[in-house]
Amino acid sequence: MYTGVYMLWEDLLTFIFPEHCIGCDRSGSALCAICERTITIKAIALSGTTAVLLDYQNPLVKKAIWALKYHRRRSIGRYFGNALYREFFKQLNRSGKHAKEKIILIPIPGGKKAVAMRGYNHAAIISSAIAKCGQADGLQISSANNLLYKKKEVGQQVKSRNKSEREKNVADIFNVRNGEKLRGKTVILIDDVITTGATVREARRVVKAYGPKRVLTIAVAH
């Protein structure tokens, strides 16, 4: 209820104050063509199942992700979703081989407090944008925004000193509802930034228990 009212308000604000570029404040879009040239959009595989698009060390990338997470810039999430779609999914439709593949996107859930405060899970904005592009292209793709959820809050990753501590920190934090719909499907986890990878590894472990055909991970930046 709160979220619905909030979103209406957000749309109204966008109407009164048109979209402006995160880099230079020029009005028109979340990231203008000139600023876009300062970031390198290139798919990079981090492993056999994980790929990212942007370098998190680029100040503009960092600023954009920050604005999406903390300044309620949902349009940036849609921008990222569109970019991810172009780089990772667009060719599925053309090759034909994967055109009939059933793909379920699962956004990595945010912390309960953070989501309640900003009124949305930012990874779900990205995920929904990808699904929307794919559906328009005739792919069998959907975003299951409430399937994976957090059952407990975890301490900030930065506080964890070493790898084993980080792994322990995220152990058993996720739960799945309606997991039976994942059986035999291609599942793609969607996240904003992959730092250590501990969170997505844990999400992957939980999701795999429901028998998907394969589980991949795609994130905006690393």
Interface positions with Zn ion (CB under 5 A): 21, 23-24, 26, 32, 35
Minimum CB separation from Zn ion for residue 133, in Å?
A: 22
Nearer to Zn ion, 22 or 104 (CB): 22
Q: How far is the CB of 66 from Zn ion (least distance, A)?
A: 16
Q: Which is nearer to Zn ion, 35 or 141 (CB)?
A: 35
Q: List, in order, residues 6 or more apart from 181 with CB less than 8 Å away.
A: 104, 144, 147
Q: Which amino acid is at 38?
A: T
Instruction: Quote the least distance from Cβ 77 to Zn ion, whole Å.
Output: 17
Question: Which residue, 26 or 72, is less far from Zn ion as judged by CB?
Answer: 26
Residue 138, classed as helix, strand or coil, is coil
Question: Whose Cβ is closer to Zn ion: residue 26's or residue 102's?
Answer: 26
Nearest approach, Cβ of residue 79 and Zn ion (Å) = 12
Closer residue to Zn ion in complex, CB, 18/48:
18
* 121 in Cβ contact with 77 (< 8 Å): no
In whole angstroms, how far apart are CA 193 and each of 8, 55, 80, 101, 102? 28, 9, 12, 26, 25
Shortest Å distance, C-beta 60 to Zn ion = 9
DSSP state of 98: T
Of residues 58 and 175, the one with the C-beta less far from Zn ion: 58
CA gap 55, 195 in Å, rounded? 11
Nearest distance, CB of residue 63 and Zn ion, angstroms: 11
For residue 67, the minimal CB distance to Zn ion (Å) is 13
| Distant-in-sequence contacts of 52-59, Cβ < 8 A, 24+ apart | 52/194, 52/218, 52/219, 52/220, 52/221, 52/222, 53/80, 53/83, 53/84, 53/87, 53/88, 53/218, 53/219, 53/220, 53/221, 54/220, 54/221, 54/222, 55/221, 55/222, 56/193, 56/195, 56/221, 56/222
d(CA 104, CA 147): 10
**Cβ closer to Zn ion: 21 or 188?**
21
